């Protein structure tokens, strides 16, 4: 027994001696003599120069460490600077004992002062592709060894002051990433990887903290947990779930949340690497947030439990996207409680007409229809309340179906001003020439309430029905309108003219209208505007406005092809009190952008007509006109008791009878001046009713 103890003791002493001698020999070696060999091997593989300006040190212990300082690696010959990368210090510390079993256990890796430039030239060649455009024929050989790769265990990585810049030689765009600190730690290859990093992207600071899956799970492609908190772009992001891969592609099941105090701050920060956002006008809506569970499997992304808030708007629902087919397919249901477009849309100046010389209303710009063939979709969107320019719209429901370029919005419905509006729209962009069909039906919409919501109180009350059915084809709005077919019909009855509307006229004019302020004349028996449209010509089927004492009937058409107007507005008295007033028809001509309103020339023959043109002001009600003069003794028209409402409301064509031309008469007696009346003058459009009617017509087309 003593003999074996002596033998083992002797062997132990010899091993310790050999180890001590080996360590002494290693410490006596100057490893700087190998810098040239390392540089030669690097050039043989990459074709580039590797320079180690500092010392190459080896610290011998149970945890040996290798450190190198002042390393630089040359750039491609065409690069924008001599060095592709410079490193101030690089150090690696490993555990010695695990090496005996073939396991590389790295205790820590330290990287400091890295400056890396990644760039391409105008031809798309990249400086990280070694040998490309450098004349080097060297190729990296892949190992064919059948042994399994044993990954090292890296317990800690510490990075300080790392700067990475990417430059696109073709576009000139640059992206700069700065990593001030990066700390990665793991107890073992099977333990979660803890991370904490801080830096900036294009001078926009960010921080990331949390943990991800183990090195083993990452290397094996298994699913691994992710729990991260990110602060960037004036927002806080949280991710909690799992990521991974399968034979069918990536896998994900992540709960995502996003919060920010001001959307404008986030957009302004994002503009640092998306310059187009610099021009974005973001409304001041306060805090915003988004929460959703996102799953990705078998090429399908499903977003469930969507909960987004922006100002007063609250959005919920679900959305799924299938990217496994020929083109993506989208399916979803979205619910929104309130939307105030007046808060969402930027407060800008009035639109300015382009300087192209094109003064037409309907634009000729090609419609953006290419996106309709890029994906299929089936969406249902419900909005509880929407506010725009003071008008409140409730219970909006829209169902959208998109299939191979064929879009259907059917049905859509909403409630506005106590009434209902229903419709559908079909747009086929799969054909060489897109076609569009639209129908809209409105029932019992309270225009008095609409006027109040727009800030016009005490003007008129009543309810209106709407019936629109049109179809057309073309690549632009102008082409579609030029070939439009269908009808547009707006009708109201049993309404009332309020005192506020009467107050819009001149007091002198009202005094010239005997009995017009009576209760009977305040009743709106009907108002009908009905155009039948064929090949871009909107022909007036019925243009009627009638009170208890007045009928106003319009005829003519609007040419949507060249946007020209040819309308006649004809007022007619229904009782004796208004029959004593001179009523003169108006002609509406010009274009949709610049309509022209003038008194009918045939009605201005003689002195009485001249007096009308000289003396009267103007009185406009709902776009219809009545010209009158207090001093007129004899009416130029007679009583017309025709019921124009009945045929107009029944959808029949309405044409008034022929009006008698005004006869030449002497100037009325009792005038304060003995001067003879001047020659007949066309009333100027900027004076009184002509200006009012012209402005009203322009407003119909957004002018």
Is the four-CA dihedral 544, 545, 549, 550 of positive or negative sign? negative
Q: What does R_g of the chain's alpha carbons equal in angstroms?
A: 41
Residue 106 near residue 154, CB atoms below 8 Å? yes
Residue 318 near residue 340, CB atoms below 8 Å? no
Residue 575 DSSP one-character state: S
Phi, psi of 440 (to 5 degrees): -140, 130
- Which of 625 and 288 is assigned the larger pLDDT? 288
Min mean pLDDT across 215-224, 328-337, 412-421 is at: 215-224
Separation in Å, CA 421 to CA 282, 410, 465, 488: 31, 13, 9, 15
Structural domain includes residue 85: no
Phi, psi of 89 (to 5 degrees): -155, 140
| 253-266 average pLDDT score | 92
Confidence label for 507 from pLDDT (cuts 50, 70 and 90) = very low
| 379-395 average pLDDT score | 92
Token output for 354: 């382009």
Structural domain includes residue 123: no
Structural domain includes residue 440: no
- Which of 107 and 553 is assigned the larger pLDDT? 553
Structural domain includes residue 648: yes
Q: Which residues neighbour 621 within 8 Å (Cβ) at sequence distance 6 or greater?
A: 497, 501, 504, 545
> What average pLDDT does the structure give for the chain?
78
Structural domain includes residue 496: yes
Phi, psi of 615 (to 5 degrees): -95, -35
Q: Coil, helix or strand for 670?
A: coil
Which residue in 238, 242, 240 sits closest to 221, CA to CA? Answer: 242
Burial of 636 by CB count in 10 Å (0-12 exposed, 13-18 middle, 19+ buried)? Answer: buried
- The 10s digit of each residue's pLDDT in 156-199 is 888 899 999 999 988 888 889 999 999 989 887 788 889 999 99
Q: Please report the pLDDT score of residue 122 as a whole number.
A: 86
Q: Please report the pLDDT score of residue 423 as a whole number.
A: 95
Q: Please report the pLDDT score of residue 280 as a whole number.
A: 76
Structural domain includes residue 543: yes
CA 70 from chain centre, in angstroms, equals 50
Residue 419 near residue 437, CB atoms below 8 Å? no
Give me the number of domains the chain comprises.
Answer: 1
Q: Please report the pLDDT score of residue 154 as a whole number.
A: 78
- The 10s digit of each residue's pLDDT in 26-78 is 454 455 676 787 788 888 888 888 888 888 776 666 567 788 889 999 999 89
pLDDT at 581 over 50: yes
Q: Please report the pLDDT score of residue 36 as a whole number.
A: 80
Distance CA 403, CA 285 (A): 36
Structural domain includes residue 87: no
| 131-155 average pLDDT score | 54
Angle at 666 between CA 665 and CA 670, to 5 degrees: 130
Return the biggest CA–CA distance within the chain. Answer: 157
| 388-393 average pLDDT score | 87
Q: Which residues neighbour 236 within 8 Å (Cβ) at sequence distance 6 or greater?
A: 229, 230, 258, 259, 260
Which residue range(s) make up the domain with 583?
A: 484-700
Residue 517 DSSP one-character state: T
Q: Please report the pLDDT score of residue 115 as a whole number.
A: 94
Distance CA 183, CA 283 (A): 39
Confidence label for 523 from pLDDT (cuts 50, 70 and 90) = confident
pLDDT at 420 over 50: yes
Residue 498 near residue 461, CB atoms below 8 Å? yes
Q: Which residues pair with 608 in a beta bridge?
A: none
Which residue in 303, 299, 301 sits closest to 324, CA to CA? Answer: 299
Confidence label for 509 from pLDDT (cuts 50, 70 and 90) = very low
Structural domain includes residue 303: no
Q: Please report the pLDDT score of residue 268 as a whole number.
A: 86
Burial of 654 by CB count in 10 Å (0-12 exposed, 13-18 middle, 19+ buried)? Answer: buried
Which residue in 176, 167, 236, 165 sits closest to 206, CA to CA? Answer: 236
- The 10s digit of each residue's pLDDT in 98-133 is 666 667 778 888 889 999 999 999 888 899 888 655
pTM over 0.85: no
Confidence label for 220 from pLDDT (cuts 50, 70 and 90) = confident
pLDDT at 501 over 50: yes
Q: Please report the pLDDT score of residue 381 as a whole number.
A: 95
**Residue at token pair 């309430």:** 449
């Amino acid at each position: 027994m003593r003999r074996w103890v002596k033998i083992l003791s002797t062997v132990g002493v010899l091993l310790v001696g050999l180890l001590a001698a080996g360590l002494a020999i290693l410490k006596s070696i100057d490893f700087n003599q190998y810098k040239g060999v390392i540089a030669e091997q690097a050039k043989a593989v990459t074709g580039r120069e590797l320079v180690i300006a500092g010392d190459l040190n080896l610290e011998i212990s149970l945890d040996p460490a290798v450190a190198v300082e002042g390393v630089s690696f040359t750039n491609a010959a065409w690069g924008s600077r001599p060095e592709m990368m410079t490193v101030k210090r690089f150090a690696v510390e490993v555990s010695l004992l695990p090496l005996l079993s073939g396991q590389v256990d790295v205790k820590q890796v330290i990287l400091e002062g890295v400056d890396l430039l990644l760039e391409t030239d105008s031809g798309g060649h990249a400086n990280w592709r070694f040998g490309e455009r450098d004349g080097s024929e060297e190729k990296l050989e892949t190992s064919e060894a059948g042994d399994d790769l044993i990954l090292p265990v890296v317990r800690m990585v510490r990075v300080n002051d790392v700067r990475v810049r990417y430059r696109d030689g073709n576009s000139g765009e640059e992206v700069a990433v700065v990593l001030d600190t990066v700390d990665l730690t793991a107890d073992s290859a099977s333990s979660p990887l803890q991370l904490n990093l801080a830096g900036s992207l294009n001078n926009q600071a960010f921080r990331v903290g949390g943990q991800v899956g183990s090195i083993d799970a990452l290397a094996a492609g298994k699913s691994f947990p992710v729990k991260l908190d990110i602060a960037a772009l004036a927002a806080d992001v949280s991710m909690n779930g799992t990521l991974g891969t399968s034979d069918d592609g990536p896998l994900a099941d992540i709960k995502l949340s996003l919060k920010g105090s001001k959307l404008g701050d986030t957009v302004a920060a994002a503009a640092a690497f998306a310059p187009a956002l610099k021009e974005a006008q973001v409304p001041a809506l306060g805090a915003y947030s988004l929460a959703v569970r996102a799953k990705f499997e078998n090429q399908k992304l499903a977003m469930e439990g969507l909960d987004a808030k922006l100002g007063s708007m609250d959005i919920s629902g679900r959305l799924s996207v299938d990217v496994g087919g020929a083109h993506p397919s989208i399916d979803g249901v979205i619910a929104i409680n309130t939307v105030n477009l007046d808060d969402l849309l930027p407060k800008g100046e009035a639109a300015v007409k382009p300087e192209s010389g094109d003064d037409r209303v309907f634009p000729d710009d090609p419609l953006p229809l290419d996106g309709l063939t890029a994906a299929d979709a089936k969406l249902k969107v419900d909005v509880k309340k929407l506010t725009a320019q003071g008008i409140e719209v409730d219970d909006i429901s829209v169902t959208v179906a998109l299939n191979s370029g064929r879009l259907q919005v059917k049905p859509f419905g909403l409630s506005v001003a106590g009434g209902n509006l229903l419709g559908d729209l079909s747009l086929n962009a799969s054909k060489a020439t897109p076609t569009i069909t639209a129908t809209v039906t409105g029932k019992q919409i309270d225009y008095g309430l609409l006027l109040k919501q727009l800030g016009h109180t005490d003007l008129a009350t009543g309810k209106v029905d709407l019936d629109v059915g049109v179809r057309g084809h073309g690549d632009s709005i102008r082409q579609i309108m030029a070939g439009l077919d269908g009808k547009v019909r707006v009708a109201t009855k049993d309404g009332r003219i309020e005192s506020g509307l009467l107050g819009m006229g001149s007091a002198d004019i009202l005094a010239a209208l005997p009995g017009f302020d009576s209760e009977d004349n305040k009743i709106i028996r009907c108002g009908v505007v009905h155009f039948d449209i064929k090949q871009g010509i909107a022909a007036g089927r019925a243009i009627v406005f009638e009170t208890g004492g007045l009928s106003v009937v319009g005829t003519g058409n609007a040419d949507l092809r060249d946007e020209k107007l040819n309308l006649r507005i004809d007022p007619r008295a229904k009782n004796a009190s208004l029959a004593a007033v001179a009523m003169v028809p108006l002609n509406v001509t010009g274009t949709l952008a610049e309509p022209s309103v003038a008194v009918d020339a045939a009605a201005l023959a003689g002195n009485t007509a001249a007096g009308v043109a000289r003396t009267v002001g103007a009185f406009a009600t709902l776009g219809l006109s009545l010209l009158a003069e207090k001093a007129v003794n004899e009416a130029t028209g007679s009583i017309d008791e025709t019921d124009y409402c009945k045929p107009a409301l029944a959808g029949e064509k309405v044409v008034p009878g022929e009006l008698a031309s005004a006869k030449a008469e002497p100037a009325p007696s009792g005038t304060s001046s003995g001067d003879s009346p001047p020659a007949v003058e066309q009333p100027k459009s900027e004076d009184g009713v002509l200006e009012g009617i012209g402005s009203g017509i322009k407003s119909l087309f957004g002018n």
